Structure 1
């Protein structure tokens, strides 16, 4: 199944105009692969935008992480329509983000970040797309790893979050500010110690490991979406309009950065 998804993603990224390649690697005798599409100049520092395409078990995974992959593919389509880009942008679809591989060197994002580090590639920053389509306008629909945070960020799950750790560098600060300015939906900028639960719950954590500035763009996952890692994580529960707004803001932020 993962191979068929990888093939579909590569075809879609190629059709959008990306220069595509695979990054295969072995885990327990099986081959897994990241799919990479490059846009813009071939040389110079690059921005990494990534989303994992595996799911946890036998769930539909519509939000986790179908929305992240959909956002990645739509970003590719929009980038392919640009006559010029200010710098190189690599879109990466990762494998093996979910358990039992999470927080291990078998994660696709670990292998990708490791290769960048080994090749001494200059990286402007990284954006992880993780669950972007679930919203709830009701009071008390939003939870937090630390209860009093609701008095700062509100109790309605109607926003998207740019999350990052303290000391994340210039890229993280600029991306969060520009994304909030560009977005057509509410955006909360969240910065916390890396040990706070949830702050590193996606592929960006591996770029931190190799010293790159990275942010998480998310609807806050299980802090809002009770269908996380359940068979009820289906397409019918998603807000496609707000997912589209999230992608539009991503493109505006990327194109506006120099």
Structure 2
């Protein structure tokens, strides 16, 4: 009986370990290096570099899905591209998971937002061959950063608008916006309102699920599933869209078209002082914790029950 019990415990531990350790940190490092250590910075003025980045993302996506496409559009006589990778295309209604690959100015943009793009890349690998009863679209956006932020030239605006115009059925959208910077030191986390530190603490050691008041069924269920995976310390933040920072990413455009949407973030400049600086490099990132965020997203997606 004791031997049977020991064997059962061993199998349980192995199973639990494999379930919680899905992402490949070696691949994550390779992806980050390729995205950030480039001849030119991937900002809107370096169109050739943006196109090379888009092509690289497309190549990675094509390893996992036979449904990969480029959504092209024109701005100032230049062609910019969203890259879309789909799974479960036999299903009608879909989930969108998106991140932007452009940067603000002359910087590598490791956390902002190569980390989110790498999240999409790893999700594509993890979703390969999975049987789904809903569709998942992974979308790599261009032109999220200034001078195009909050304009109709944002790649996410173009994509959200196309969904609305085609009358696509959408459960909801998840924006991966800076998911790799963590600090365990006291006072490493700040907030738009100082009083929030009483509830959320002053250590930047968690990932945040950001949603607005009145979020729909998809956002609420996904958030519950993400937290239930216990892959990483997670805190949920809900507020009016007017609070500074809550709409500082691509999910804002899905809100504009009345889709249920949320953001997953390390809280950006409220924690990472390298935000929009030349110091935003992959050497500053916490790869193991970043991998756990990706695991949480994956588990939240495959646990979704329409």
With the length of structure 1 as denominator, give the TM-score of the two structures. 0.98
Aligned to 1:125, the other structure's residue is in SS state strand
**1:103 alignment counterpart:** 150
Q: Is the 8 A contact 1:169 1:213 kept in 2?
A: yes
Distance in 1 (CA, whole Å) between partners of 2:140 and 2:231 is 26
Matched residue, 1:43: 91
1:75-115 Cα shifts (integer Å, max 9, x gaps):
00100142x12311000000000000000000000000000
Aligned pair partner of 1:120 in 156, 164, 167 = 167
Residue equivalent to 1:223 = 270
Which of residues 46, 49, 54 in structure 2 aligns to 1:6? 54
Structure 2: gaps (5+ residues): 1-48
C-alpha deviation, 1:136, in angstroms: 0.3
Q: Displacement of 1:18 after TM fit?
A: 4.5
The alpha-carbon deviation at position 183 of structure 1 amounts to 3.1
CA distance in 2, matches of 1:28, 1:179: 40
Distance 2:219 2:68 in 1: 27
- The structure-2 alpha-carbon separation of the partners of 1:225 and 1:257, relative to structure 1 and needing over 3 Å to count, comes to same
2:237 matched residue in structure 1: 190
Give the match's secondary structure for 2:231.
coil
Residues 236-247 of structure 1: pairs in structure 2 closer than 5 A: 236-247=283-294
1:143 paired residue number: 190
> Does the CA contact (< 8 Å) of 2:91 and 2:133 recur in 1?
no
Confirm or deny: 8 A CA contact 2:94 2:169 kept in the other structure.
yes
Look up the SS of the partner of 1:139 in the other structure: coil
1:156 partnered with 2:210? no
Kindly indicate which of the two structures has a greater share of residues assigned to strand: 1
Q: Does 1:69 align with 2:69?
A: no
Aligned length: 257
Q: Aligned partners of 2:106 and 2:89: how far apart in 1?
A: 39
TM-score when normalising by structure 2: 0.83
Larger Rg: 2
Are the structure 2 counterparts of residues 18 and 219 from structure 1 closer, same or farther at C-alpha, using a change threshold of 3 Å? farther
Q: CA deviation at 1:126?
A: 0.3
Q: Distance in 1 between matches of 2:231 and 2:264?
A: 15
Q: CA RMSD in A?
A: 0.8
**Structure 1 segments (4+ residues) deviating >4 Å:** none
Q: Which secondary structure state, in structure 2, belongs to the residue aligned with residue 106 of structure 1?
A: coil
- Structure 1: unaligned runs, 5 residues or longer: none
CA contact (8 A) 1:58 1:231 kept: yes
How far off is 1:176 after superposition? 1.3
